[in-house]
Each structure stands twice: as C-alpha cells, then as structure tokens.
C-alpha cells in the first residue's frame, strides 16, 4: 500500500529541515561578527550607538566603529568605539578577533578592572586606547606581554597602585600614556629600559614624592615627556639634555628644586619646555638661543633669580616666554626687540628694572605683553604695536613715565589695556579712547591729563573704564551714552566738570558709576530706567545741585548710593526705602524735610549729617534752634509734665498687666509658631520653645546662638536661634536675615547624608527663627583640635574626620542639583558626633549673615573665614567649588599640623604658606603635629600632600572633592571603594594678572 500522506516521521524531518534552514539564514553572520555581538551583549548601549551591529549581515565590516582588511575573506583589523557611551566591563570577546590590530574604546564608561585573561588572545594588537573610562585596579602585567603593542593609552581612568615591573619590558612600545590615574609609588627607573619609546605621558598621578629617574636620559627616541603634577622632587637630571629628539618637555607643577640644568640647552629638537610651578632656583642658563625649533618656554612660578640670560630672546623661533612670578632682576635684554617671532611675553612679578628697548615691537608680531609688578622705568616704546597684533598690554605697577605713544591709538587689535600705578602723564592718544575691541581700559593712578575724547563712541566693546586718580579734566562726553557694553565707569579723584550727560541714562549694562571727588555740576540724571543692573552709584564730592530723583528708588539692584558732599536740595524721596542699600550717604548737602522712616535710626546718623534742614527720628539730628526753644519754653514744660504723668500711669499699668498675663503668655505665643519638619521626629516644638534658657547656650556665632535642648525622650537636639534683626538695622538687614534663613532651610531640608548635620525642623514666628538640628556631642573640630583636649584626636581619628568631611563636601558639590557651594568651609563648621564621626554644618547662612555683620565700609561680602579664603578670591571676588576645596585643604593642614589657620607665629604667612615654607626649609617632619604617633608618619604625609594639593594657589590644580575622597581612601587601602570617577585635570594652565 502506498500511503497518500507522508508518514509522521517524514513530516517531522521536513519541519526540522525548514527550521534548520531558518536558523541558517539568521546566522549567516561570520564568526568575527558573532564575537562582536557577544562583546556588545556584555555592554549597556544606552545611546544605541551599536544599532548598526546587525546579525543579518554576512560580515561586520560595515558596522559602526568596525574596520576590516582588504583580504578575501575580509577580517576585522580595527575597532574604534570612541565616545559611544558604552558602559560595562572590558569586552574581552574583542580579543578573539584574530587580526585585531587596533582597539580604541576611548571616552566610554568601561568600569571593570583589567585581568590578565582579558588580553589572552589579543596577540595581534598594536594600538590599544582605553583612555577616559572608569577602569580601576592595578595595571595588568599582561599588557606588557602583547608582542606587537606599540601604542598604549590608559589616560583618564582610575588605575591605582604602582607602575608594575613588567612595564619595563614592553618589546616595541612607542607610546605609553598613563595620565590622570591614581597611580602611586614613584616613577620607576626601569622605564629607562623602554628604548623604543617616543612618548611617555605620566602626568597628573598622585605618585609618592620621588625624583625623575635619570635613566630617562637613555630614551634616545623620546619625543614627548609629560610629567606634570607627578609629585616630583629633587633636581632635574642633567641626562634629560641628551634627548636629542625631544620636542616637548613638561615637568610643570611639581616640587623640583635646584637650578635649570645647562644641559637642557642641548635639546636640539625641542619645541616646548614647561617647567612652571616648581621650586627651581638659581639663574636661567645661557644657551637657549641655540635651540632652532624652540617656540615656548615657561618657567614661571619658581624662585629663579639673577638676570635674564642675554641671549634668551635670540632663540630664532621663540614665540612665548613666560617667566612671571620669580625673583628675576636686572634689565630686559635688548634681544627682545630683535626677535622676529615673539608673540607672548609674561614677565610679571619679578624685580626687573631699566628701560624697555626703544624699538621693542618693531620686529615681532607681539600679541600679549604682561610686565606688571616690576621696576621698569622709562617710556612705553613707540613701536610696541607696530606690527598691528597687540591684544593685551599689561604694565601694572612699574615706574613707567612719559606720555603714551600715539601708535597705541591706532592699535586696533587691543582688547585689554592695564597701565595702572605708573607715572604716565600727558593726554591719552585720542584713538585709544575709541578702539573697537578694547574691553578693559585701566589707566588708574597715573598723572594723565586732558579730556575723555568724544572718539570714545567707537569703543563698542568697552565694558570697564577705570581712570581714577589722574588729572583728567573737561566734561564727560555725551558720546559715552553709546557704549552699550559699559559695565563700570570709575573716574574717582579727577578734575571732571560739567553735568552728567543725559545719554548715560541709556547704558543698560551699567553696574558701577563712580565719580567721587570731581567738579561735576548740574542736576542728577532723570530717565535712568535703563539702569537695571546698577549696583553702585557714587557721585560724592562734586557740585551736583537740585533734588534727588525719586526714580533712584526703582533701580532693582542698587545697593551702594553715595551722594554726600554735593549741593543737593529738597527732600530725600520716600521711594529710596525700596532699595536694599548696604551703604548709603546723603551727608553734607542741603537736604531738608523728613528722613524716610526706614532710614530713621541712630545707626545711620552719620549718613545724614551736615544737612541742617533734615529732620527725622534720629535723636539730635535736627536741633531746635535757641530762640524757637525759648519761645515755647513754658508750654513745652507743661506738655512734658503731662506726658511724664501719663507715662508713669501707663508704665504702672503695663507692669500690672504683664504680671497678670505672664502665665498665659507662653501658651498664646506658641500657638503662632509655624513649623516645617524634614524628618520624622519624636518631639514637639513646645518642648523646644520651653527650654531655650541662657543656661543651655552651647555656642554663639555669626548667625545666631545655639542651645542644647534635652528632650523628654532623653535625646538631645541643638537649636539654633538666628539673631533677631536688631531694630536699629531696619529693613535691608531684615531682608538679609530672611534670605539667610530661607537659604539654609531650603538647602538643608532636602539633604540626607551621613556626613551632613541633619536638620530636624525649623520654627518661625514673625521675625524669630529657630533651626533644630541633630545634636553633636563632641562639638566642632576647630574647638577640639585647638584646645587642650586635642590629644583625644589620634591619627586614625583625624584621618576618619578628614574622610567623613570630604564625603560631605563631595556630596554637596557632586550629588546635589544644583551643586551647593558651602562658602565657609572651616574646622569650626565640621562637627563631631559621639564616635567622632564628622559632619558638615552651617552653610547657606554664611553669605547673607556676613553681609549684616560687616561695617558699612565694606562693600563686597567676604566669603569665608580668615585663613581659609582661596587666594584667587582677591582678584575674582567669586566663590565656587574650588574655593571650598582650598578651604578644605586648610582644614586638612590643621588636622596634620594641629595648628590654627592663622597665627602670629607664621609672621606674614598663613598656615598654607607656613607649611609650604617649613617643608621646603626643614622637611615634612617639622610640620606634623608632635602629638601624633610617628608610626603613622607615612600616612600622615600622604594626607598632608592631599591637603597641599587642595590648597594649591591655582584653582585648576585643585582636585575635585570627589577625587579628594578617592585619594584619602587610597591612603588607607581598606577604604578603597570600587566606584570609578575621573577628574579631568588636563585643562591648560592659565594665569593672568
Ligand atoms: C577613532 O575614532 C575617533 C572618532 O571617530 C577618531 O577621532 C580617532 O582618530 C579614531 N582613532 C583611530 C586610532 O582610528
Ligand atoms: C606582529 O606584527 C608583525 C609585523 O607587522 C606581523 O608579521 C605579525 O603577524 C604580528 N603578530 C601577531 C601575533 O599578529
């Protein structure tokens, strides 16, 4: 019998065949493609960067980031996934690609450590770039065994530990880059064995203090040696001078000492020499003029002395010479005027003297010239901008004299001109007033005369015009109203006359107008609605007359108003009460009428003196004249008696009333308190209100008094009562206190972190404000550390405190959105709990409270406390995370040295400078707190190094707070954490007077 249908087993076979065929279709992808897909599977591809990696293709050769050979069949030779945002462990499947010669995974989130096995079959690799990832752990020996590896870049990861011995045995390595990791120990001398090396980049690692191995002089093929910020000490080995192919030598930001070796003048291929920010001493050797290719030489921020070598500017291609902030003396060699290549010369902060060569600028296309803070004399050379490229001319604080060369008025490229504090005289070339790109023109403190030219209307980019302390005369040209970018115009102490041109009212960007002590006259401006950004208006000591325009009261950010010593008449407009004035002065005018009530208090008396017609509630401000008083003598006496009697009755009544009412008072008062709580807590606000006795005060600071309150449940809380606005200070300070309170509450309330003091709740009642915090039984670090009880704090405790606090600040900087800048980091704001765990306290309030505390003289609010303020604050007046980090560096130094941040013992210096100088003169032992156990010396000096790094004078060199935490953890290996984080510290060095 022939079956009509195929039997069941045949069907099954058929089905299987079909599905097998289907399977074949889906996997027509070759083996290499499958390896790549397997690698992809191990990674999180959040940005879908690998969407072209499709298993329906026959080969992976068209996939994003994949390159194949031309051979038949093609094989994958390169994988480049730069910036694909891939996250996960190192994809070791890629190593199964038998011909893979180049693997680039730069700028991703690869976050494992590298195991030997990862590279087992990567034998064809010659180019491996894993830079800018989050790789952790030790550098694997396996890398050095890759037979064909020529290029290895692991920059910008978190590799830690020492550079392994195996790294001295790469057979063909040409480029080795380990920049910005967490490598420690010292730079090993066996790197001198890698004679095939062309690039050795080890910068920005927290190595232990150690020398530059002189074996590096054996690397005869080396072209690039980058050892910036490697904690190098000792002298620069003269052997480096043998590196005849070297084009870039960067040893900046270390603690190298001794002098610059003469041998460096033998670097016959060198293009760039960077030695800035070390402790180099002695003279700069002669001979650099031999270097035919030298473009840039930077040895600024050292202690170099003696004269500049006579031939230094004769290096035929020298473009940039930075030797600022040294102790160089003598004259500037005449070679400077012969050079045909000079672009950028910064020699500020030295003791250079003598004249500038007369034809300086004739030959070179000079762009930046900064010779500030020297003793240079004579005239500014007429040819200074002859090549028409000069952008910055900065000659602050010298003894230059004579008039400005006319050529400057034709120097169209100029954008910053600072000639402050010289003896320059004569009129300013007309053209200079109106140069189109100048944004800053600073002529202060000279003997300039003549008028501000109407040509100033051409200065379309001028934002800061400072001409204080000169002899400028004539009137302010109305053309100044065309300067739409003008932010500050300061012409204090000159001889300007005439009225303020009404066009000034159009200046929308104007923030500061300071015309104190001139001979200006006429009425004050009307039509100033455009002054939305005006912060400071000082027209004092002039001859202005007429009334004070009420519209001044509508300027939204005006906080400094000085109209004193003019001939102003009429009343003080009540509208001025709308301003939040930090400082104001109406004295010595002819003002009359009533003082607006908000200003009427004793503290402001001196702001109104010398206006005989002015009356107000300030006692004694408007004395009643003799006769007037005499006429009404009897009547006044009668009135007085009646009032006294009435007063007595009233006082007695009040006393009785109070006595009767006392016991009810608290209860009724309490009902009006409003409460905002941020955590669950087991107490109520009345318990707290009842315990605010003076007996319980545990501290008192800028922002208020702190009480310790024992609750009925046996727990303690700390209650901060913010200072009540003193009546005398009236409106503007009240606002500040409110702002301070809101700031602290708003920020603290949101925060939950083990290293930040917990805010339980806050209570407000009218102007009384209470903040209830967790109680920290061991008080502040500052109090403890600088008291007789400092001995309790042994090294492990201090180390833990540093780490805890660092974590707190790191949380504020990196994990809060927006980031929180503490603004007042100091040991007194680090509190200690029962186990000496440290928590950060007291932020938000700092800023506003200090505004209140300062006397009326200070305009700018100093952010931070004495001894903790970052040096750049002096010229930027800005605080940011970097200023916190500096202050935290000071706290670390306090922990290590046990010393106060400022102390007469240090002379002119503060703790930071003192520590630097003692280490330099006597060594690290001499700064460590003698109370600490010597067996921790190693650890202590590593923490000290972190503190010094934080307290770097250049903000750019300070590590991020997150990195500080990492580095502190590395000091005690049991604290190492796995999470990876980078801190890009590769930004270019930049500093300017
Ligand atoms: C890798 O790709 C990036 C971005 O496409 C490119 O800039 C880089 O030169 C490539 N690297 C190599 C070694 O091909
Ligand atoms: C190493 O490179 C050489 C020369 O380019 C090549 O012949 C050899 O096959 C490579 N080795 C491996 C394991 O790929």
To the question of whether residue 721 is assigned a binding role by annotation, the answer is: yes
What's the whole-number mean pLDDT along residues 280-290?
96
Ligand closest to Cα of 95 equals 2
Tell me the torsion sign for CA atoms 845, 848, 854, 855. negative
- Residue 68 · residue 74 · CB < 8 Å: yes
Q: Which ligand is nearest to the CA of 127?
A: 1
- What percent of the residues of the chain are helix, what percent strand, and what percent coil, each to the nearest 5? 30, 20, 50
Collapsing DSSP to helix, strand or coil, 394 comes out as strand
Angle in degrees, CA 66, 69, 75, rounded to 5: 70
Q: Nearest CA to 900 among 756, 784, 777?
A: 784
Judge if 902 and 928 occupy the same domain: yes
Please, what sign has the CA dihedral across residues 541, 542, 546, 551? negative
Taking residue 750's Cβ as centre, other Cβ atoms within 10 Å add up to: 12
Closest ligand 2 atom to residue 99 Cα is 14
Same domain, 708 and 820: no
Residue 747 lies inside a defined structural domain of this protein: yes
Residue 18 in tokens? 């079909």
Whether 223 has a pLDDT exceeding 50, the answer reads yes
Residue 902 structure tokens: 């400022």
| Position 211 in a domain | no
Closest ligand (CA of 102): 1
Angle of the 881-897 helix axis to the 961-971 helix axis, nearest 10: 30
Position 140 scores a pLDDT of 92
Distance, in Å, from the CA atom of 760 to the CA atom of 751, rounded to the nearest integer, reads: 11
Ligand 1 atom with least separation from CA of 129: 13
State the average pLDDT for the chain. Answer: 84
For residues 962 and 459, give the distance between their C-alpha atoms in angstroms, rounded to a whole number.
44
> Residue 579: helix, strand or coil by DSSP?
coil
pTM across the whole model: 0.63
State in Å: Cα 153 to ligand 1 middle: 13
Contact between residue 454 and residue 431 where contact means Cβ atoms under 8 Å apart: no
| Ligand 2 atom nearest to 124, measured from its CA | 14
| Token pair in block for residue 661 | 């009412």
Question: Which long-range contacts link 144-152 to residues 24+ away (Cβ below 8 Å)?
Answer: 144/169, 144/170, 145/119, 146/119, 146/122, 147/123, 147/171, 147/172, 148/101, 148/123, 148/124, 148/172, 149/125, 149/173, 150/126, 150/174, 150/175, 150/196, 151/126, 151/127, 151/175, 152/128, 152/176, 152/177
Among candidate residues 188, 82, 83, the one with its CA nearest the CA of residue 144: 188
Mutate to test the pocket of ligand 1, among 49, 104, 125, 177 (most ligand atoms within 8 A of CB): 104
Question: What does residue 768 show for φ and ψ, rounded to 5 degrees?
Answer: -100, 135
Distance CA 945, CA 954 (A): 16
The answer to whether residues 928 and 800 belong to one domain is: yes
- The CATH number of the domain holding residue 166 is 3.80.10.10
The CB-side HSE value for 331 (13 A sphere, CA atoms) comes to: 12
Degrees, nearest 5: CA angle 127-131-134 = 135
Query: Is the CB of 79 inside a 6 Å radius of any atom of ligand 1?
Result: no
Q: Residue 624: what pLDDT?
A: 40
Does residue 64's CB lie within 6 angstroms of at least one atom of ligand 1? no
Which ligand is the nearest neighbour of the Cα of 84? Answer: 1
Distance CA(993)–CA(972), nearest Å, equals: 40
Pocket of ligand 2 (CB under 6 A): 123-124, 147-148
| Residue 928 and residue 784 share a domain | yes
Q: Which of 143-157, 433-447, 454-468, 589-603 has the lowest mean pLDDT?
A: 589-603
The answer to whether the CB of 102 is under 6 A from ligand 1 is: yes
- Given the residues 250, 824, 910, 945, select the one marked as catalytic: 824
Average confidence (pLDDT) over 532-539:
92
Is the CB of 82 inside a 6 Å radius of any atom of ligand 1? yes
- To the nearest 10 degrees (0 to 180), the angle between helices 911-922 and 937-950 is 130
Please report which helix (H) or strand (E) contains residue 656, including its range.
Answer: helix 633-670
Å from CA of 124 to ligand 2 middle: 6
Tell which of 640, 669, 698 closes a domain.
669
Q: Note whether 956 and 905 are same-domain residues.
A: yes
Written as six digits, the tokens of 340 are: 């045909």
Task: Let me know whether 749 and 805 are in one domain.
Answer: no
Q: Which helix (H) or strand (E) holds 677?
A: strand 674-677
Q: Is residue 80 in contact with ligand 1, taking CB distance under 6 Å? A: yes
The three-point CA angle 743-748-749 to 5° equals 105
Ligand nearest to the CA of 122: 2
Q: Given 352, 377, 392, which residue is the final one in a domain?
A: 392
Specify the residue with its C-alpha closest to ligand 2, atom 1.
148
Instruction: Tell me the backbone φ, ψ of residue 616, rounded to 5 degrees.
Output: -175, -175
Can you give the CATH number for the domain in which 756 is found? 3.30.200.20
- pLDDT of 228 above 60: yes
Measure 176 CA to ligand 2 centroid, in angstroms: 20
CB 138 within 8 A of CB 159: yes
Nearest CA to ligand 2 atom 11: 124
Q: Are 650 and 757 found together in one domain? A: no
Q: How far apart (Å, rounded) are the C-alpha atoms in residues 896 and 932?
A: 9
Alpha carbon distance 824, 842 (integer Å): 8
Say whether pLDDT at 480 is over 50.
Answer: yes
Is the per-residue pLDDT at 458 higher than 70? Answer: yes
> Could you tell which of 99, 127, 148 is best to mutate to test the pocket of ligand 2, judged by most ligand atoms within 8 Å of the CB?
148
CATH of the domain at 981: 1.10.510.10
**Strand pairing report for 704-710 and 697-700:** antiparallel
Ligand 1: centre distance to CA 377 (Å): 53
* 3-class secondary structure, 783: helix
Residue 677 CA to residue 689 CA, distance in Å, equals 15
> Tell me, what's the pLDDT at 705?
80
Q: Please name the residues in contact with 682: beta carbons below 8 A apart, sequence gap of 6 or more.
A: 711, 713, 715
The preferred substitution site among 65, 68, 82, 155 for testing ligand 1, maximizing ligand atoms within 8 Å of CB, is 82
Which H helix or E strand runs over 128?
strand 127-129
In this structure, the residue with its CA closest to atom 2 of ligand 2 is: 148
Which atom of ligand 2 lies closest to the CA of 148? 1
Residues 706 and 804 reside in one and the same domain: no
Report the percentage of the chain scoring pLDDT > 90. 58
Domain that holds residue 728: 673-775
* CA–CA dist 703, 724 (Å, integer): 10
Q: Closest Cα to atom 3, ligand 2: which residue? A: 148
Same domain, 663 and 750: no
Query: DSSP character for 229?
Result: T
Q: What distance in Å separates the CA atoms of residue 602 and residue 621, rounded to the nearest whole number?
A: 9
Does the pLDDT of residue 666 top 60, yes or no? no
pLDDT of residue 670: 45
State the pLDDT at residue 814: 82
pLDDT at 990 over 70: no
Q: Are residues 156 and 53 in the same domain?
A: yes
In this structure, which ligand is nearest to the CA of 150?
2
Domains contained in the chain, number? 5
Q: Which residues contact 623 (CB under 8 A, 6 or more apart)?
A: none
Let me know if residue 639 belongs to a domain.
Answer: yes
Q: Which atom of ligand 1 lies nearest, measured to the CA of 80?
A: 1
For residues 321-350, give the mean pLDDT: 96
Atom 14, ligand 1: which residue's CA is nearest? 80
SS3 assignment, position 481: helix
> How far apart are the CA of 68 and the centre of ligand 2, in A?
16
Nearest CA to ligand 2 atom 8: 124
Q: Are residues 741 and 852 in the same domain?
A: no
Nearest ligand 1 atom to the CA of 127 is 13
Residue nearest to atom 5 of ligand 2 (CA): 148
In the reported structure, the alpha carbon of residue 93 is separated from the centroid of ligand 1 by a whole-number distance in angstroms of 21
The verdict on the CB of residue 104 being under 6 Å from ligand 1 is yes
Residue 608 falls inside a structural domain: no
**831 and 902 share a domain?**
yes
Task: Give the C-alpha separation, 373 to 347, whole Å.
Answer: 9
The more confident residue out of 671 and 442 is 442
Tell me whether residue 184 is one of the annotated catalytic residues: no
Determine, yes or no, domain membership for 685. yes
Question: What's the rounded Cα separation, in Å, for the pair 35 and 94?
Answer: 7
Kindly tell me the sign of the dihedral angle through the C-alpha atoms of 25, 26, 32, 33: positive
Query: Which residue owns the Cα nearest ligand 2 atom 10?
Result: 124
Residue 314 covered by a domain: yes
What is the arithmetic mean of pLDDT over 69-83?
Answer: 94
For ligand 1, the distance from its centroid to the CA atom of residue 79, given in whole angstroms, is 10
Query: What is d(CA 280, CA 261) in angstroms, rounded to the nearest whole number?
Result: 10
Scanning 561-632, the segments in alpha helix (DSSP H) are 626-631
Q: Tell whether 417 is covered by a domain.
A: no
CA–CA gap between residue 741 and residue 721 (Å, rounded): 10
What are the pLDDT digits (tens) for 345-377?
A: 999 999 999 999 989 999 999 999 999 999 999
Paired with 585 in beta bridges are: 562
Site to substitute for ligand 1 among 77, 80, 153, 177, most atoms within 8 A of C-beta: 80
pLDDT average, residue stretch 485-502:
96
What confidence tens digit (pLDDT) does each residue in 871-911 have?
877 666 677 888 899 999 999 999 999 999 988 888 778 89
Structure confidence by residue, pLDDT tens digits, 184-201: 999 999 999 999 999 999
**What span, in angstroms and rounded, lies between the C-alpha atoms of 113 and 136?**
5
Looking at 65-69, 318-322, 457-461, 596-600, which range is the least confident one? 596-600
Give the DSSP letter of residue 815.
Answer: I
Of 485-499, 570-584, 715-729, the range with the highest mean pLDDT is 485-499
Query: How would residue 628 be classed by pLDDT, with cut points 50, 70 and 90?
Result: very low
**Does residue 266 form part of some domain?**
no
Name the strands in the sheet holding 716-722, side by side, starting at the edge strand that comes first in the sequence.
674-677, 759-765, 768-774, 716-722, 704-710, 697-700
- Residue 82 Cα to ligand 1 middle (Å): 7
- Residue from 69, 121, 124 to probe ligand 2 pocket by mutation (most atoms less than 8 Å from CB): 124
In angstroms, the CA 589 to CA 607 distance is: 11
- Tens digit of pLDDT for each residue in 758-817? 887 777 766 677 888 888 888 889 988 988 788 788 899 999 999 999 999 998 888 776
Within 8 A by CB and 6+ apart from 702, the residues are 845, 846, 849, 850, 853
Q: Which of 775, 798, 823 is the last residue of a domain?
A: 775
CA pair distance 757, 773, nearest whole angstrom:
7
Q: How far apart are CA 719 and CA 80, in angstroms?
A: 59
87 CA to centre of ligand 1 in angstroms = 19
For residue 106, how far is its CA from the centre of ligand 1 (angstroms)? 9
Ligand 1 atom at shortest distance from the alpha carbon of 102: 13
The atom number, within ligand 2, closest to the CA of 123 reads 13
839-880 per-position pLDDT tens digit: 988 764 444 333 334 333 333 345 567 888 888 776 666 778
């Amino acid at each position: 019998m022939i079956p009509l249908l195929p039997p069941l087993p045949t069907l099954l076979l058929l089905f299987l065949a079909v599905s097998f065929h289907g399977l074949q279709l889906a996997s027509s992808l070759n083996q290499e493609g499958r390896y790549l897909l397997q690698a992809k599977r191990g990674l999180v591809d959040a940005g879908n960067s690998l969407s072209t990696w499709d298993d329906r293709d026959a080969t992976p050769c068209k996939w994003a980031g994949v390159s194949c050979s031309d051979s038949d069949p093609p094989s994958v030779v390169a994988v480049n996934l730069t910036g694909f945002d891939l996250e996960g462990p190192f994809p070791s499947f890629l190593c199964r690609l038998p011909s893979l010669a180049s693997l680039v995974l730069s700028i991703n989130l690869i976050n494992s450590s590298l195991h030997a096995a990862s590279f087992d079959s990567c034998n064809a690799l010659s180019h491996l770039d894993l830079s800018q990832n989050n790789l952790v752990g030790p550098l694997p020996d396996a890398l050095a065994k890759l037979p064909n590896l020529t290029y290895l870049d692991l920059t910008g990861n978190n590799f830690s530990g020492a550079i392994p011995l195996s790294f001295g045995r790469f057979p063909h390595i040409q480029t080795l880059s380990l920049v910005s990791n967490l490598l420690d120990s010292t730079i090993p001398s066996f790197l001198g064995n890698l004679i095939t090396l062309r690039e050795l980049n080890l910068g920005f690692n927290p190595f232990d203090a150690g020398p530059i191995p002189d074996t590096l002089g054996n690397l005869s093929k080396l072209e690039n040696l980058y050892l910036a910020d490697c904690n190098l000490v000792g002298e620069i080995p003269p052997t480096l001078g043998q590196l005849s192919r070297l084009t870039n030598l960067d040893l900046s930001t270390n603690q190298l000492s001794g002098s610059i070796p003469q041998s460096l003048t033998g670097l016959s291929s060198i293009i760039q020499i960077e030695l800035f920010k070390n402790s180099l001493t002695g003279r700069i050797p002669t001979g650099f003029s031999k270097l035919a290719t030298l473009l840039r030489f930077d040895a600024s921020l050292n202690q170099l002395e003696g004269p500049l070598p006579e031939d230094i500017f004769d290096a035929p291609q020298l473009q940039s010479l930075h030797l600022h902030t040294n102790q160089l003396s003598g004259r500037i060699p005449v070679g400077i005027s012969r050079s045909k290549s000079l672009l950028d010369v910064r020699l500020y902060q030295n003791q250079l003297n003598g004249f500038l060569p007369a034809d300086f600028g004739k030959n070179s296309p000079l762009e930046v010239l900064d010779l500030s803070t020297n003793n240079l004399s004579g005239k500014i050379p007429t040819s200074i901008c002859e090549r028409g490229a000069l952008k910055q001319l900065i000659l602050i604080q010298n003894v230059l004299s004579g008039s400005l060369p006319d050529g400057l008025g034709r120097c169209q490229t100029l954008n910053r001109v600072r000639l402050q504090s010289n003896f320059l005289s004569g009129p300013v070339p007309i053209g200079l007033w109106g140069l189109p790109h100048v944004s800053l023109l600073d002529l202060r403190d000279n003997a300039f005369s003549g008028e501000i030219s109407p040509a100033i209307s051409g200065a379309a980019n001028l934002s800061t015009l400072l001409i204080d302390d000169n002899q400028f005369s004539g009137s302010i040209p109305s053309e100044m109203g065309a300067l739409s970018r003008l932010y500050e115009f300061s012409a204090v102490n000159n001889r300007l006359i005439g009225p303020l041109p009404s066009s000034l009212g159009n200046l929308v960007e104007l923030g500061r107008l300071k015309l104190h002590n001139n001979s200006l006259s006429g009425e004050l401006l009307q039509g100033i609605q455009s002054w939305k950004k005006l912060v400071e208006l000082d027209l004092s000591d002039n001859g202005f007359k007429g009334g004070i325009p009420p519209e001044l009261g509508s300027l939204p950010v005006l906080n400094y108003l000085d109209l004193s010593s003019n001939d102003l008449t009429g009343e003080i407009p009540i509208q001025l009460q709308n301003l939040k004035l930090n400082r104001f002065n109406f004295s010595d005018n002819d003002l009359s009428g009533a003082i607006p009530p908000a200003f009427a208090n004793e503290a402001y008396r001196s702001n109104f003196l010398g206006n005989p017609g002015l009356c107000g509630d300030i006692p004694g401000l408007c004395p009643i004249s003799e006769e007037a008083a005499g006429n009404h003598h009897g009547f006044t006496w009668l009135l007085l008696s009646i009032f006294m009697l009435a007063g007595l009755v009233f006082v007695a009544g009040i006393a009785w009333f109070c006595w009767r009412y006392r016991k009810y008072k608290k209860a009724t008062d309490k009902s009006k308190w409003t409460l905002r709580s941020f955590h669950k807590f087991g107490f109520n606000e009345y318990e707290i209100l009842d315990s605010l006795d003076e007996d319980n005060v545990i501290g008192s600071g800028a922002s208020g008094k702190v009480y310790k309150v024992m609750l009925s449940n046996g727990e303690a809380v700390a209650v901060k009562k913010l200072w009540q606005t003193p009546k005398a200070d009236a409106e503007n300070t009240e606002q500040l206190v409110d702002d301070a309170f809101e700031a602290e509450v708003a920020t603290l309330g949101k925060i939950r972190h083990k290293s930040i003091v917990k805010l339980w709740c806050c209570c407000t009642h009218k102007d009384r404000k209470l903040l209830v915090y967790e109680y920290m039984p061991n008080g502040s670090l500052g109090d403890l550390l600088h008291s007789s009880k400092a001995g309790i704090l042994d090294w492990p405790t201090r180390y833990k405190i540093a780490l805890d606090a660092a974590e707190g600040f790191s949380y504020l900087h990196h994990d809060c959105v927006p980031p929180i800048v503490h603004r007042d980091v100091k040991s007194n704001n680090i509190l200690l709990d029962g186990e000496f765990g440290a928590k950060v306290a007291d932020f938000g309030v700092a800023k506003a409270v200090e505004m209140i505390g300062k006397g009326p003289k200070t305009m700018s609010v100093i952010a931070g406390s004495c001894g903790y303020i970052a040096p750049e604050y002096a010229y930027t007046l800005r605080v940011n995370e970097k200023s916190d980090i500096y202050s935290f560096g000071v706290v670390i130094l306090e922990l290590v040295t046990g010393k106060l941040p400022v102390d007469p013992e240090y002379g002119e210096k503060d703790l930071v400078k003192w520590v630097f100088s003692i280490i330099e003169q006597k060594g690290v032992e001499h700064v460590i707190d003698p109370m600490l156990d010597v067996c921790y010396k190693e650890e202590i000096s590593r923490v000290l190094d972190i503190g010094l790094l934080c307290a770097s004078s250049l903000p750019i060199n300070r590590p991020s707070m997150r990195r500080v935490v990492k580095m502190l953890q590395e000091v005690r290996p049991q604290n190492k954490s796995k999470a990876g984080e980078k801190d890009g510290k590769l930004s270019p060095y930049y500093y300017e007077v």
